[in-house]
Structure 1
Amino acid sequence: MSTYIQNFLKFQPLLVELVARDIKIKYRRSVLGVLWTLLNPLFMMIILSVVFSNLFKFDVENFPLYLLSGQVIFNFFSDATTSSMNSIIGSAGLIKKIYVPKYLFVLSRVLSSIINVLASFSALILVMLALRVELHWPILLVWFPMITLMIFSLGVGLFLAAATVKFRDIQHLYSVFITALTYLTPVIYPMSILPGWLYKIVQLNPITNYLQMFRGFMLNNTMPSLSELILAIVEAVTMLVIGLYVFYKNQDEFILNI
């Protein structure tokens, strides 16, 4: 274990450079740059709030906040895993030239997504203040669903990065999967409108637990149950172990396929 820690510390400056590179590439030639990370969820919230709160008449208090909080969580997962999926292929030139711990490329994509989600979180706080929503002390605990979701996303990202090196079709299949997952996660709609069979399916979605916990801290001033806390940790750790196992089992063959 000490060897892995020493190796990580040795390449930590490179990790910082990779995160900076990912952010620069994402906003290259953009006039507003990182500000788009703040504006994009706000624009989407306005559009979707008008459509769903008026057209579909969802009976949700502070629907714009409900919607924006859902976007913060789901967009982070989507961005982190989608970018991680191409991290090894996108860094083929560097991997072929020198030795670098390959998991750093996946980790850098997840960390850059965290920086992006902080801007989205700032947008949520600004909207709450603009709407004069009272902030309660449970908001200080939002780090828990965010950190566990980050660990879960890292596990998914490691798995996808390893799988995509061998099977490039996963890039196209995953975009379809993310679209389907959008509708199986209560980002836009409340769980109360779902029929019993669909409610159970949505409840089995790991992102649902993280999202409901996040909304409880941010909007509802509620604390999750002990079972929900344990479930969040178990899902995150289990996915990370699976991702690490698949990644390390296949990483020696990456150079043959990239």
Structure 2
Amino acid sequence: MIKNLWKYRHLVRRLAISDFKVRYKNSVLGFFWSLLEPLLMLLVLYVVFVDIYPSTQKNYHLFLLLGIAMWDFFTKGTTMGLQGIISKPGMVRQVYIPREVLIFSSSLTALMMAVLELGVFAFFMVISGLMPTSTAIYFPLIFIILFILVFGVSLSLGALNTYYRDVQYIWAVVLQAGFFASGIFFDISTYQGEIKRLLLLNPMARIILMSRESLLYNTAISSWDLIFCFASSLVILLVGYLIFMKLEPGFAEEV
């Protein structure tokens, strides 16, 4: 797989950039939607959890915005990956390319959108007077782990959705449940016992937790959390690739 992705890297880049442009082609605000969308979500959650149900979390606006940006990357990446094969029937039927290229390019498109959202987060950090410390060095590694996770899940979803279109509706429900179980608007570390262990079985919950520790709270990242998330992402990537390769021969007929 890595060999194919490298061989077709120029095509991957063109597809990713093209999908990014097309996504906002008929939008009045264009690329600014990538900036406005997380801010609108931040506004809604901030009103709910500060004005209605007050939160005592320090720098809660940054706490929320970072969680939203990381979750948005996962949501957009896997949702676009889910459509990665069926959205390009011409390329699947008429052109021979390794089909994982289509999934990888959608993950890169989501990555570009995530970078814009993280730029918004960085701006709010600066105006809030909170500057990253030495622990911020962990964040690129955390983000790479998240990208691997997005790509792995997308491989499975993209393949399965090509055969069973109900997958897209099921995944929408899973994402809604995941939003509330990943610690986006609450701090998982404040929980104890079985509840905390259950929540932390979700790799996204650990990724969001580690992101906040590295960027907001100058806290040393747990080696176990890094190992768990990295190993989980690799396993999900391997399983996703095996499913993708198993189903790939029938893609042309199904699209």
User: TM-score w.r.t. structure 2 length?
Assistant: 0.95
Identity %: 27
When the two structures are aligned, how many residues end up with a matched partner? 255
Match of 2:93 in 1: 96
Deviation at 1:10, TM superposition (A): 3.6
Give yes or no for the alignment of 1:162 onto 2:120: no
Runs of 4+ in structure 1 deviating by more than 4 angstroms, as ranges, are: 192-197
Give yes or no for the alignment of 1:138 onto 2:146: no
SS at match of 1:61: coil
Deviation at 1:192, TM superposition (A): 5.6
Match of 1:227 in 2: 224
Give yes or no for the alignment of 1:62 onto 2:59: yes
Match of 1:37 in 2: 34
Deviation at 1:247, TM superposition (A): 0.4
Match of 2:176 in 1: 179
- C-alpha distance in structure 2 between counterparts of 1:104 and 1:196, whole Å: 42
Match of 1:199 in 2: 196
SS at match of 2:213: helix
Deviation at 1:190, TM superposition (A): 2.1
Match of 1:49 in 2: 46
Match of 1:238 in 2: 235
- C-alpha distance in structure 1 between counterparts of 2:108 and 2:140, whole Å: 15
Deviations 1:9-37 (A, max 9, x none): 44222111110121112101122211221
Deviation at 1:195, TM superposition (A): 7.3
Contact 2:142/2:210, CA 8 A, preserved across alignment? yes
Unpaired runs of at least 5, structure 2? none
Query: Residues 191, 252 of structure 1: CA spacing in aligned structure 2 closer, same or farther, 3 A cutoff?
Result: same
Unpaired runs of at least 5, structure 1? none
Give yes or no for the alignment of 1:113 onto 2:110: yes
Match of 1:251 in 2: 248
What CA RMSD, in Å, does the superposition of the two structures yield over aligned residues? 1.6
- C-alpha distance in structure 2 between counterparts of 1:40 and 1:218, whole Å: 22
